[in-house]
Structure 1
Amino acid sequence: MTRASARSVPEATPLWLKLSSYLILTDEEKAYLSELERNILRQPPRSDLLQQGEKYRDVRVMREGWAIRHKALPDGRRQVVNFVLPGDIIGMYSTLFESADHSVTTLTAVEVACFPPDRIVELFRGFPRLAAALAWSGAREEAIVAERLLSLGRRTALERTAHLIVELLRRLTTVNMADNGHFTLPVTQEILADALGLSIVHINRTLRRLRDSGLIELNGQRITVNDVRQLASVGQFDELYLHLIRAPKRLERAFSGEERRPHAGGAGEGRRKM
């Protein structure tokens, strides 16, 4: 395998920014990510990037635009399980599973980078720090889905909606797509209803309540969060599940070679003394 040249570090992409929130990437790692994203595909709104049950063809990195991950019952009823934002990966587990267990559909025009699944294996072999950052990204997405389940099962309509808005603000801030509480929300009330398990009428009423309270402002697809702390309080939002942290020191030590496994003899001696 030939690693990408680190001489010229390209402009930051959403994936780079997202992974950099966990690990401080080297120039070589940044160059590799740039090379990984060199093949660009553009798709219009309401395009299926992945269909439930189909075989994985490639891995895609969202660079621009929004999409939804959703699952459907045979009769067509749908549940939105997550939003795909810039920096998110579609098909990251394609090396482990043959077929997709969910669908991904664009909400806006999107730009995605595409690469074959075997590049993930290559990355794990040649860039273990990047592999750890990708594992963190995957674990965080699972945590987001688990948090959504908690919302559907226990939070009220007002709490669910407030919680989702704060979550999206936090995620978009990581990739420089939110500014001082302002961000674009290209999501219809129908999509919000599918994501939050509410009726469109209930969503409309709940958004109006948040707006009338002064917590948010809505101007078309533009949303402004006026008081993040208060909105988070309304939604009982605890950002622990987003894992907005730097990599643990023990992980950095492992990559630097500072940590060593105990000698087999020493371990054996310890067992014999028991």
Structure 2
Amino acid sequence: MTSAQRNPLTRKLSAFVALSDVELAVLEGLHKRRRSFVAGRDLVHQGQAAHAAYILSSGWVCSYKLQADGTRQIVDFQLPGDFLGLRSVLLRTSDHSFEPIVDIEAAEVLESDLLDAFEQTPRLATAILWAASRDEAMVVEHLVGIGRRDAETRIAHFLLELKSRLTLLGIGSKEGFDCPLTQYHLADALGLSAVHVNRILRQLRENGLVTFRDGRVAFHDYSRLVDLAEFDPTYLDQTGPLLK
């Protein structure tokens, strides 16, 4: 197995398109500038222009917007295989920031790299468009969650979404997954206070549904949690129609 076949982006895109040797080689080329970043130091900051995009190889990242009063709203969490700042590279200026939650490794991708890759392999461009559309669908679902779901349903839905995304990468299951997020991350992402998050997580644990403790999410009654959250993973489109 080549390094291109092992990288998380390949695994993610392979759910949508059966990648050819040429396409795998182009993907490998996008990973040629590999960099490491420490937790807590932004890769890209809100308002930054003329920056690169990144492909996350390992670790977790949060994307967020700062408010005038210094508070932040986490827009999403990026996992291995996700692009960081793809849209804002094409639009020239980043409208939000990206912060590593843990130490990470990522491949730096210039606008010219992307355009060359898309010109060489149109099918690969289509697969990346699918991945970007899936990311947009998640943001829409998060908006619905914050606007319409109660706190318990909101947290349950969020944990189930993370499980589905991690399952695609082979590091999540119906038993659970490792998770470096804190209750403060959940609060900033879900529009709740950290105290409220703590209360709801305790309630979910006492009801025999899920435990989130010491960097691990453990599902105790996965089916019942799905029912509680009314979780329908269709919006994630984990196994899109494979392109010939």
TM-score range, shorter chain: over 0.9
Shift of 1:96: 2.6
Shift of 1:226: 2.5
1:70-81 alignment, distance < 5 Å: 70-81=64-75
Partner of 1:259: none
Partner of 1:149: 143
Partner of 1:100: 94
Instruction: State the one-letter code of the partner of 2:107.
Output: A
Contact 2:163 2:174 in 1 (8 A): no
Shift of 1:127: 0.6
1:1-274 alignment, distance < 5 Å: 9-10=2-3, 11-247=5-241, 252=243
Shift of 1:126: 0.8
Instruction: State the one-letter code of the partner of 1:199.
Output: S
- Bigger-Rg structure (1/2): 1
Contact 2:156 2:229 in 1 (8 A): yes
2:224 and 2:185 mapped to 1: Cα distance? Answer: 25
Contact 2:44 2:51 in 1 (8 A): no
1:33 and 1:123 mapped to 2: Cα distance? Answer: 8
Shift of 1:124: 1.5
Contact 1:9 1:31 in 2 (8 A): no
Runs (4+) off by over 2 Å: 8-11, 93-96, 179-182, 226-229, 245-248
Q: 1:38 to 1:180 in 2, by over 3 A?
A: farther
TM-score, normalisation: structure 2: 0.94
Shift of 1:227: 2.7
Instruction: State the one-letter code of the partner of 2:80.
Output: P
2:221 and 2:116 mapped to 1: Cα distance? Answer: 44
TM-score, normalisation: structure 1: 0.84
2:133 and 2:23 mapped to 1: Cα distance? Answer: 21
Contact 1:58 1:91 in 2 (8 A): yes
Q: 1:199 to 1:219 in 2, by over 3 A?
A: closer
1:228 and 1:25 mapped to 2: Cα distance? Answer: 33
What percentage of residue pairs aligned between the two structures are identical? Answer: 37
Contact 1:56 1:94 in 2 (8 A): no
Moved more, 224-233 or 109-118: 224-233
Shift of 1:38: 2.3
Instruction: State the one-letter code of the partner of 2:158.
Output: L
- Size of the aligned set, in residue pairs, is 243
1:203 and 1:72 mapped to 2: Cα distance? Answer: 21
Instruction: State the one-letter code of the partner of 1:181.
Output: E
User: What runs of 5+ residues in structure 2 fail to find an aligned partner?
Assistant: none
CA displacement, residues 89-123 of structure 1 (integer Å, 9 cap, x when unaligned): 01212453110011111110101011211111112
2:216 and 2:85 mapped to 1: Cα distance? Answer: 29
2:202 and 2:131 mapped to 1: Cα distance? Answer: 34
Contact 2:88 2:95 in 1 (8 A): no
CA displacement, residues 178-234 of structure 1 (integer Å, 9 cap, x when unaligned): 145221111111111011111111100100111111111334001112332221211
Instruction: State the one-letter code of the partner of 1:19.
Output: L
Where relative contact order (Cα < 8 A, 6+ residues apart) is larger, the structure is: 2
2:50 and 2:173 mapped to 1: Cα distance? Answer: 35
